[in-house]
Amino acid sequence: MEKHPAPQLGTNGDVIGQRILAFLLDGLIMGLLGGVVIGLGAILGDIAFLFLSLISFVGVLVYAFLLEGLYGYTPGKYVLGLVVVKSDGSDCTIGASILRNLLWLIDSLPAFNLVAMVLILLTDENQRVGDLVADTIVVKQR
């Protein structure tokens, strides 16, 4: 996996559909992996269930919070040719990734990521709350 692929600045308005698909793909990947790990724990018993549930939770945190900071993308974004960068085009940092993803709590309100979708459509740089606070944009990879 390439760390921080070169961004194609100015394409953030062209990737709205790809962002939605990447979000859905990442959710599917996290759900499948988490389901398998937790399901295995359920088969193995209570202690294994608790332990594997914790591992699954940590895996989701790493997936959601760190991959964009370490690589500039999640697997869903990578497959769809997207990269997260700071608004000046520099690499997304781990701190910015954690901040932008923690704010999904606001972006997902009131349901179905409505706040995120409205802001992406209305802001000049197509940013959701997490992007605005972390000063990040999502653009095509070169």
Position of tokens 């996996």? 1
Q: What is the pLDDT of residues 4-16, one digit of tens each?
A: 999 999 999 999 9
Contact at 8 Å (CB) between 53 and 40? Answer: no
Provide the pLDDT for residue 66: 93
Q: What is the pLDDT of residues 96-126, one digit of tens each?
A: 999 999 999 999 988 889 999 999 999 999 9
Q: Which two tokens stand for residue 78?
A: 């990578």
Q: Mean of the pLDDT values across residues 11-24?
A: 96
Q: Mean of the pLDDT values across residues 11-30?
A: 96
Provide the pLDDT for residue 25: 98
Q: What is the pLDDT of residues 51-100, one digit of tens each?
A: 998 998 999 889 988 999 999 999 999 999 999 999 999 999 999 999 99
* Residue 1 scores a pLDDT above 80: no
Contact at 8 Å (CB) between 1 and 78? Answer: yes
